[in-house]
Amino acid sequence: MAKPNKKGPTKTVQIYCSKCKALLYKYRKGGKGSLVKCFIERIVEDYTNTACSCPECGVVFGREMLIRGTPAYKMIGGKVTMK
């Protein structure tokens, strides 16, 4: 399978918890669709204490997986928003 683009996109989005609106990540997202997965190598700034868990309300918003052979976080629908 094809790996994600090495250079990566230049557009940066901010990812927030849907429940408490805490900032979770600054992420280089490609495309204009909804946020389904976050490749770990594309995360610019990480504001979480433990992987896939909100630092303020503690809700689990994703799972660690290998997607196309690359470590990534698979997001649970409706748990995160992005701007």
**What is the identity of the amino acid at 68?**
R
pLDDT at residue 6 in the model: 64
Residue 47's CB is within 10 A of a number of other CB atoms, namely: 16
User: Which one has a higher pLDDT value, 60 or 11?
Assistant: 60
pLDDT in tens, 33-83: 999 999 999 999 999 999 999 999 999 999 999 999 999 999 999 999 999
C-alpha span between 5 and 77 (Å, rounded) = 24
Rounded CA separation 41/58 (Å): 23
Do the Cβ atoms of 15 and 79 come closer than 8 Å? Answer: no
The Cα 9–Cα 15 span in angstroms is 16
